[in-house]
Structure 1
């Protein structure tokens, strides 16, 4: 036998030929094993010849019972594993056995075995469709949403879908019906479409109090949208290029702070899409998240030639890690509620923002001193570099004209290893 050398660090471990001592030890161990087996064989044959036949049958019966018990335990374990797999996949979040559950919802949620059996990578044995776990709390609305004619026209119920989303039922189940197709009359080519009035006929207006954009411009549609559909005579025309207060940062100044250039961005709760329009003029692609709360925000953003994302901020952002150079939000972090909810969202923003990317907190409303301190502690926790930081007061255009405290900041995500 030759020697085997294993290089370990700076030393070498070497196994030489077996020594005389080790060979003797092996012989002793072999002798012990053989002796033990011979004694065991003798004891077994001796007991089998001396015991009556009925004891032999009893032993066989006991062995049979033990085997049956083991098989039952194996079967029970397999069932428990299958149940755990279903719970992890979300099969049992929604009870589809109820009498009031729509047939289409049952069909959509029904799980199907994989055609080639168990997947070797994930260990999954069945296919399952995605649906929000909070849908269980709104089963009546969900069944109403899934009650339609297959292959026919979808009900005019976008407001119902939005109500489900606002209650945490997100994602919604898919439907096998055709959404109402509205002729897009008067759409303008890009980039002319960015700052021209949008035709009222591109929106169905069902479920809304207003039936035109002129009507919307005469109303207050939330704190972040006051006259935001007026692209000609309203304040949108000068947003991000002309400051009205020290809290208003100019888009060109912010882009100049970008490390490695700003190419793609995300605008959380971006109103009518004016931030995305300003960035589009500077060859930066921006996705704008919006819900149609009291106004057709998504249709308006799309008519301007921009990218709307019909989504709430309560779900995980549907983007991969480190994807964006810039994330912008006005009051997208929320107007109240628990600090933990803001923390979950902030961690998700950090996830999709690349190292060196910018987080633009634009005129964040500080309802009280505690809210301001909570936000500041959260920002400090992430270790972002403060490129701009302004706390100031300005008159609330959506309120009663009183002075309110706002925070604006440009924060740069650090490199973490």
Structure 2
């Protein structure tokens, strides 16, 4: 550190000297009346060349010293021989740095009129978010609101219906929640259908909430705060709310207003992608559930970081619930089970079963439902 400060001081002195000599030469030239005096003296040229060469040398030396210091710092905190997977992980971009990799999308997103209403471009924002450009660049425009929002919102997380007037439908094919229910009743927009979820067994792969609460009680573990990753319209959070457990849901508006639906049910949606660091402090959650979004289509390196961020936010004794995680059977045995095992969690439940839909049969896929408990202390 002291050597770097010394180099900075030498650079400052050299630049000041250059400016003084240049000023001296300029003033002497202006004051001279003879034509020959306008040429730069050889001695002054040599001095200027020497100073500039010194500046260039010190700049290169400073860069080399900084690089050496960084390398020394790394070598003192890790093994000198880096494993191949660590070199791969080092190429993963930190939060928001990938914005520069999509200049066309970013330029389009940032083309707006300041101090007016923001464009109707939430689909463009989501395209950037899914590419790792998150949090998005800030804009000085006002967010839009629905033209005629409802004056009353449901208190019940399982209302008879969700108010259409509280959503801006412009970018969606469907223009109402009834349309979404008719299109696919399993999307989560039918409260009458959702109220039956998480409450009973259909197979060994299910973990009903009453059983989850019983397991926690038997282990003298209290469930108060939770995170539902990829929770769709927030049905798990809605059901846990009935049991006085606060759960926030990460979700994306992929072709439907999932975030709005979560909020209309009186719950908290987190509009974050899977590669985003969870906006929670270390060791504060009792439960993290990984829903349908966490599956084999996530790049392996990204999935490992996701699991370690789950470990970061879970308190000692907290639970990680992998709900119907699916992958190829051979990959579950050779890749994902060892990856999950690295966490060192206690296996409270570990059940696998065949994925019997068309894609599952074609690709030889299986489901995994696992309830894992983080060690109380480390």
Same fold, TM-score > 0.5, yes or no: yes
RCO comparison, higher one (Cα < 8 Å, 6+): 2
> Counterpart in 1 of 2:206?
248
Cα distance, 1:344 vs structure 2: 1.5
Do structure 1's residue 144 and structure 2's residue 108 form an aligned pair?
A: yes
Partners of 1:230 and 1:260 lie apart in 2 by 33
TM-score normalised by L of structure 2:
0.72
> Counterpart in 2 of 1:274?
235
Partners of 1:331 and 1:149 lie apart in 2 by 39
1:338-377 correspondence to structure 2 within 5 Å:
338-377=299-338
Partners of 1:150 and 1:276 lie apart in 2 by 37
Structure 1 residue runs of 5 or longer lacking an equivalent are 1-63, 85-129
Partners of 1:353 and 1:292 lie apart in 2 by 26
Partners of 1:397 and 1:77 lie apart in 2 by 63
RMSD: 3.3
> Counterpart in 2 of 1:169?
133
Aligned pair partner of 2:98 in 117, 128, 134 = 134
SS of the equivalent of 1:162 reads helix
1:14-413 correspondence to structure 2 within 5 Å:
73-74=57-58, 132-182=96-146, 183-185=148-150, 187-190=152-155, 192-220=156-184, 226-232=186-192, 234=193, 236-258=194-216, 259-393=220-354, 395-396=356-357, 405-413=366-374
Larger helix percent? 2
Partners of 1:83 and 1:147 lie apart in 2 by 38
1:346-385 superposed Cα distances (whole Å, 9 cap, x missing partner): 1111111111000011111233422454221112221111
Partners of 1:360 and 1:168 lie apart in 2 by 25
Contact 1:226 1:397 in 2 (8 A): no
Decide whether aligned partners of structure 1 residues 372 and 198 sit closer, same or farther in structure 2, where only a CA change above 3 A counts. farther
Contact 1:135 1:168 in 2 (8 A): yes
Partners of 1:352 and 1:385 lie apart in 2 by 17
SS of the equivalent of 2:169 reads coil
Q: How many residues align?
A: 304
Higher Cα Rg, which structure: 1
Cα distance, 1:239 vs structure 2: 0.7
Partners of 1:209 and 1:372 lie apart in 2 by 41
Partners of 1:281 and 1:403 lie apart in 2 by 38
Q: Which moved more, 1:179-188 or 1:65-74?
A: 65-74
Cα distance, 1:201 vs structure 2: 1.5
Partners of 2:110 and 2:273 lie apart in 1 by 20
Partners of 1:272 and 1:166 lie apart in 2 by 18
Contact 2:158 2:195 in 1 (8 A): no
Contact 2:224 2:286 in 1 (8 A): yes
Cα distance, 1:149 vs structure 2: 0.8
Partners of 1:336 and 1:304 lie apart in 2 by 29
Partners of 2:105 and 2:65 lie apart in 1 by 33
Contact 1:389 1:409 in 2 (8 A): yes
Cα distance, 1:260 vs structure 2: 3.0
Partners of 1:213 and 1:336 lie apart in 2 by 28
TM-score normalised by L of structure 1:
0.65
Partners of 1:301 and 1:282 lie apart in 2 by 18
Structure 2 residue runs of 5 or longer lacking an equivalent are 1-47, 69-93
> Counterpart in 2 of 1:12?
none
Decide whether aligned partners of structure 1 residues 81 and 151 sit closer, same or farther in structure 2, where only a CA change above 3 A counts. farther
Partners of 2:271 and 2:171 lie apart in 1 by 17
